[in-house]
Chain A
Amino acid sequence: MLSLPPHVWYTRAMKEEIISLTKVNKYYGHGGGRQQVLHDLTLTINHGDFISIVGTSGSGKTTLLNIVGGLDRRYDGTCVVDGQQVEKLDDKRLARLRNETLGFVFQSFNLMEHLTCWENVALSAFFQGSNIPQSQIYSRAVEVLERFGLHDKIHSQPANLSGGQKQRVAIARALYNKPKILLCDEPTGNLDSKTGDDVIELFKSLNREDGITLLVITHEERVSKATDRSIHLEDGRIVSENAEAPPVK
C-alpha cells in the first residue's frame, strides 16, 4: 500500500466517504402504473474505492448511477456526493458538480460525431464558468488523448475510430477535468473481450495511480472480479456485497 501515491493511500487509509446514499427510493410512472425501482437503498462509497454494481436488467443499476451522477433528482432519500447533497443543489451547482467532480463513461461511448476527438475530450471545458484560454484547453485535451495512446487521432472524427478507440476517447473526455469519481455504465458492453480487458486495466490504473473512485455498472463477471467491491442489486435492493481488500502492489 505504501507504494501508492500519498494522496491515494491517505484517502484509502482514512476511509473518507465520497458517496453516500441513504434510504433512496425511486419510482417511475404515475398512478396505477407507478413502479418502484429502488427500495430504501443505502450505500456508502469511500475515496479510492473501485466498485462494481451488478444485477439483471431492470434491477436499478443505471437508475442508481444516474442518481449518484446528479442526472436524476426525482427520488426520495438522500444522496451526498463529495460532501454535497445532490437533491438540494440548484441546476448550476449540480452542473458544476458533474463538470468538476464526476466523469461519465457510457456503454455506447456517446461521442459527438460532428466534433473531432480533441473537441469531444475538451467539451467539458466549454462548460466551465471561467474563461480558459483556447490553447490551454487544446493542450490539456491532447495530453489526455496521448496518455491513452490516441496521439494520432487528435483531429479524427469518431466515425473513423474503432470501438476500443472510441471508448478510450470517451474515458479521456471523462478524465479531462481530473474528476474524483468516475461513473461507468457498462463500459465494456460494446467491446470485444481483448479491448474490454484493456479498458478494465485502464480503470485499475486510474484507481490505483490516480486515486480515482470508480463506480462501474456491469453484468460481466470479469469486470466485477477486477473491482475491489461488488454490489449485487436485485429489484432495487442490495442483495449481496462482496468486499475485497484492495490488492497491494
Chain B
Amino acid sequence: MNLINVIKLVRKNISRNSKQLLVASIGIVIGLWAFSLFLSFGLGITNVVEGEIFPWDKIEVIPPATNLEASRTRTPVANSSACDENDFYIDGKPNGTVNHDLALKFHKKRYLDNEVVEMIRRRPEVRTAYPKMKFTFPAVAEGGQDALHLANPLRTEIFADGIEPSTLIQCNEKETAEDMERPREVRQCDVYFPFQFKDYALESDPDEPICSTSDDCGAGVYCEEEDPAKVWVFPLNKPDVGNLRNRYYKYCYHAIPVLVSTYLLELWNGSVAPAHGYPKISKSTLGTFLGLTFDTYLGLSMFTSKAQTVPPITRKFQLVGISRKAIPLGVTAPLTVAARYNDYFATRDEAGDVLDKERPKAETYSSIVVRVKSKKQITSFLAFVKKLGFTQEDTNAETVGLVILFITGILVFISFVIVIIAAINIANTYFMIISERRREIGIMRAIGANRGDIRSIFLAEAALLGFLDGALGLALGWLTATFVDWVIWHVVPEFPFKPETAFHFPLWLVISTVIFGVAFCVFGALFPAYKAAKIEPSEALLPQ
C-alpha cells in the first residue's frame, strides 16, 4: 500500500470522524499548547538571565577567601622535571606533574596580577579576559541636581572599580536612531560619542596652568585642587605624607570618566526612579544623562567615620557610557585611576611606603573577568582556576539557572501528564472508531488488505491527527506568548530587566512540539491499531 493511497484513505477517515477526533484532540492540543508555552517561557527567561543578568559565558576569577598572610606560610610542593603550566598543587598537595617555579610563585602570591591575567588569556577555553580592580576605600558621590530636576543634589555612597579602557568598545561616532533601536545585548558601544574612557592623568602635562575657576579651563575640564594621588605617582619622588594637606594651588583636571552597568540602569528604571519620582533613563533620554558630572569625595563614607590615614580627595566623575562590563552596583573608572587611588589610600609606614600587607590591595587585581568560548569548556576552565588556587565569584547564576530549570521542568512535566492523559483518550476514541469500522476492516481484508495495511491506515490517521494537533497547540502557544508579551509591555509596570520578550521559540522547540503531537497520537492509537489488524476478516464481516 503506497503512501498516496494511505493519505487518501486517512484524509477521508479523519473528515468522516472529525467530531469524535476533535473532541479527543482537545487534550493533546491543550497539552502541547502548555508544553510549547512553558518550555518557550523557560527558554526565554533563561535567555534573559544568561544573556543580561548573569551571562553564562562570564566567569569572574577571584582570589581565595582565605587570609593572604596565612596562605603564604604554606609549603610549596616538591619540584618535578616535567613542566606543565596547567598543573599545580591543590591545597599544598602534589597533583600530578608540577611546575616547581610557577607553583612556588603562585603558592606564595595567591593574588591576581598581570602574570595571572596573561596565563588565563593563553588558555584555549578563553575568549577574552580582563582584570578589574576595586576601589579599596570608601567614596561618596554628590550631584545630578540639574539632570534629575531636584531641589537638592543627590548624595550617595558609591562603590567603584577600574577596568582597562582597551577592553571596552568606544564608539567614535554618534549612534544612529537605528543603532539605538537595536536590543542592548547586540549594541556595540560601551562608551558613547563624544566621550572617551581613559585616564586623562596619564597624559596630562605636569606644568598645566593653575586656575581659579573652571571657566579658566575650557569644556570638560574643571578647576580643582591639586590631586595628591597624582603627585604621588608623578613625579616619582614621593612627598612627605605630612605635606599632603598643603593645597594652595588649583589645576585644570579632566573629569574622571566612569561607566555604569546595564544592571544599575535597570534597577534605576525599575525600582529607584518609580519609588522616588525620578525620571527614567530610556533609549531616547539616555543622551541627557551621558556627560552628567558629579562631585566624588574619595576617602569619605556616609556609613563610617573611620578616618583614612591620608586626607580625602574631591574629584569630578563623568558618566560616559553604559556597559555590561561595569560593576553592577556602582561606577567603573579606568584601571589606572583605581590603582592610583588604591595606592594613595593604602596604609603606609613611616617612610611613606605602602605596608606589605596592603601591597596586594594597591598592586593587584580584585578579579579577572573571563569570557569562555563555549559552555562545554566552563568545567575545564574552572578546574584550571582551582588548580591555580583561585576561585570564581558566586553570581548565583547557577542557583537561578537551576531554579528556572526546575520550574520549567515541573511545568513541562505537567504538560506531559496532560498529553499522556490525552493519549489515553485518543486510545479510547480509536477503540470506539475501530468498533464502528469493524465491518469496513472486514471488507478491506476481503479485497486484499493485509494486517499491516490495516495497522498503517489507523496509525497514519493518528499521525496526521497528531501533526494537526501539534501545529494547533504550537500556534496557540505562540499566540498566548505574543499576548503575554503584549501584557508585559503594555500593562505590567516597569521592573528590572523587563525583557523584550519573555518567550523563545527555537526551531527545535517548534519541531519537537509537532513530533510530540505525532508521537503521542500514534502512541494512543498503537494498541487499537494492533487490535484492529488482528480482527479476523470472517468475524469482522459478521452482521452486527
Contacts and interface: CB of A to CB of B under 8 A. Distances in A.
B447 A98 contact: yes
A98 B1 contact: no
A104 B446 contact: yes
Nearest to A66: B538
Interface stretch (A4-12, A47-55, A127-135, A140-148): A127-135
A94 to B, nearest CB: 8
A112 B442 CA distance: 11
A205 B274 CA distance: 96
Most chain A beta carbons < 10 A, residue from B4, B447, B541 = B447
Interface string B510-544: 00000000000000000000000000111001010
A100 B448 contact: yes
B449 interface: yes
A148 to B, nearest CB: 17
Contacts of B16: 114
Interface stretch (B5-13, B257-265, B387-395, B477-485): B5-13
Chain B facing A: main interface SS: helix
B447 A71 contact: no
Given A72-B536, A114-B13, A127-B453, A106 B541 contact: yes
A154 interface: no
Given A66-B537, A110-B442, A129-B1, 19 more contacts: A66-B538, A71-B445, A72-B536, A92-B452, A95-B449, A96-B448, A98-B445, A99-B448, A108-B543, A110-B439, A110-B541, A114-B12, A119-B8, A119-B12, A123-B447, A125-B5, A126-B1, A128-B1, A177-B448
A115 interface: yes
Contacts of A173: 447
A1 B25 CA distance: 63
Contacts of B12: 114-115, 119
B451 interface: yes
Contacts of A124: 447-448
Contacts of A125: 5
Interface in A99-124: 99-100, 104, 106, 108, 110, 112, 114-115, 119, 123-124
A60 interface: no
Contacts of B537: 66, 71-72
A96 to B, nearest CB: 7
B2 interface: yes
B448 A128 contact: yes
Nearest to B537: A71
Nearest to B543: A108
B440 interface: yes
Contacts of A119: 8, 12
A126 B9 contact: yes
B444 A123 contact: yes
Contacts of A211: none
Contacts of A99: 447-448
A56 to B, nearest CB: 17
Nearest to A177: B448
Contacts of B453: 95, 127
A168 B429 CA distance: 34
Of listed B12, B448, B452, residue having the most chain A CB within 10 A: B448
Contacts of A95: 445, 448-450, 453
A112 B440 contact: yes
26 contacts: A66-B538, A71-B442, A71-B536, A71-B537, A71-B541, A74-B536, A91-B450, A94-B450, A95-B448, A98-B448, A99-B447, A104-B446, A106-B541, A110-B442, A110-B446, A114-B12, A114-B15, A114-B16, A115-B12, A126-B1, A126-B5, A127-B444, A127-B448, A127-B450, A174-B447, A177-B448
